[in-house]
Amino acid sequence: MTKIRPSQPETPPLEAFEIHRAEVEAGLELAYIREGEGGYPLLLIHGYPETKRIWWRNIRPLVEAGYEVIVPDLRGYGDSDLSSKDEYDLVLYSRDLHHLVRNVLGHERCGVVAGDVGGVVGCDMAMRFPGFVEKMIFFNTVAPIVVDQPEWYAERGLSMVALEDGPTGDYRIRQGRDWKELLADLDTPARRNRYIRDFYEHRLLASEGSFEEADFDFMAQPFEDAGKLAASWAPYQLQYDRPMSEVPMIMQAIDVPTLILYGPDDQVVPKDFPERCEVAFPNRVGPLFVPQCGHFLQWERADVLNEMTRLFFSELKP
């Protein structure tokens, strides 16, 4: 029997928000949305297989709550430029976003809301640029590994590997190790669209019924371009042969005040994610479980995330 899902905020049309562009590196521009200028700045960071569109249900409610909402496409994703030098990694994403928010938009500090790859980028920003990230909401991704506390993991029977490849994570191997063969298989826009659609439809990331027919194409369309699809796989190649510009700062506890949320219907992020977050984020609220929710918490339970965001950052508002 199909579950009756909680009602969600209206999804604005594709053209609802003005798309801005800014150079963050010589010859490389990021596309971003900026709404609610003058409110406390919130940076919403997408992951994979996502673009800024995954935040479409969050932008207006957060602006109405008094926040300035900044929603970029990471380099190589969506409407942002591809790197002419094929340079993509977690630290480059982090540096791009810091430059955008601080040097282009003029904010010395901000709040971060992020999951998946975006969550890891948010952690790096918080540690790499002390004081820049004042608070963070972190959900359904890879928890930082606190390498100087091996006994904590041993006592709980947890591996020091944050994300192991299980039966639902085979895509990480294909996109990381075998990406050239995979890209050759996905040789038309329709096939690339179908590949990304699968993540939203039946790859066991989302809670049942979270996405409707029109939503699949809305999310998948930006990946129909072969170059953008290939660029989006770069984080998965870092454990194989893709060089890193720098090692991301995700091997220690994150001391920024953080709200941990978890969509338990996610079958890709390991079930020990909440437990790992308890050591990775000593200054935390949660972990809090969000029912009828999987990997894409900002879309599946936008009602919950919007309200939690409004409350969690309220003391920072001007």
288 is a domain residue: yes
2 is a domain residue: no
Number of domains in the chain: 1
73 is a domain residue: yes
E-assigned strand segments in the chain: 20-25, 28-35, 40-45, 67-72, 110-115, 133-139, 258-262, 284-289
Spans of the chain below 50 pLDDT: none
Which residue segment(s) compose the domain that 248 sits in? 14-316
8 is a domain residue: no
- pLDDT at residue 164, rounded to an integer: 59
pLDDT in tens, 197-245: 999 998 789 998 899 999 999 999 999 999 999 999 999 999 898 999 9
Q: Cα–chain-centroid distance for residue 13?
A: 21
Q: Contact 128/250 with Cβ under 8 angstroms? A: no
- pLDDT at residue 238, rounded to an integer: 93
3 is a domain residue: no
Residue 292 CA to residue 208 CA, distance in Å, equals: 8
Among 283, 288, 315, 316, which Cα is nearest to 301's?
Answer: 288
Please report, for the domain that includes residue 276, its CATH number. 3.40.50.1820
pLDDT in tens, 237-284: 998 989 999 999 999 999 999 999 999 999 899 899 999 999 999 999
Residue 10 CA to residue 214 CA, distance in Å, equals: 13
- pLDDT at residue 256, rounded to an integer: 97
- pLDDT at residue 254, rounded to an integer: 96
Among 44, 34, 32, 73, which Cα is nearest to 232's?
Answer: 73
146 is a domain residue: yes
The reply to whether the predicted model has a pTM over 0.85 is: yes
- pLDDT at residue 246, rounded to an integer: 94
4 is a domain residue: no
1 is a domain residue: no
